[in-house]
Amino acid sequence: MNDAAKGHTGERKERRGFASMSPEKQREIASKGGRAAHQKGTAHEWTSEEARSAGRKGGQISRGGRGRLVEPAPAPAAPPAAPGDPGAAGGQQ
């Protein structure tokens, strides 16, 4: 069934309800909901680790790092060379 058969004319609908309110009014209503949830005891409270993880993920996404949410493990460090080792950088040749 195509859009015309469903009653859709392709015209954009007017914004209604919450979407038609100003950003300030939306923020005010959302704030009231958050306060009510905390009073009721059903609001989510972030732990430090949850907040840190969410911030890290958001930062990676905003920098275009989609799909790279897990950072690769750092490469293992080379063992320190013994003094006078011919293979060591700066050693005697």
Distance CA 77, CA 2 (A): 62
Q: DSSP letter at 37?
A: H
Which range is most confident: 5-9, 67-71, 72-76? 72-76
Q: Which tens digit of pLDDT belongs to each residue from 15-59?
A: 788 889 999 999 999 999 989 998 998 888 889 999 999 988 888
- The two tokens of residue 44 are 């989510």
The dihedral sign for the CA sequence 11, 16, 22, 23 = negative
Average pLDDT value for residue range 71-91: 62
Give me the pLDDT at residue 66, please: 52
What's the Cα-to-Cα distance from 6 to each of 10, 13, 28, 33, rounded to whole Å?
11, 15, 37, 36
Backbone φ, ψ for residue 61 (5° rounding):
-65, -45
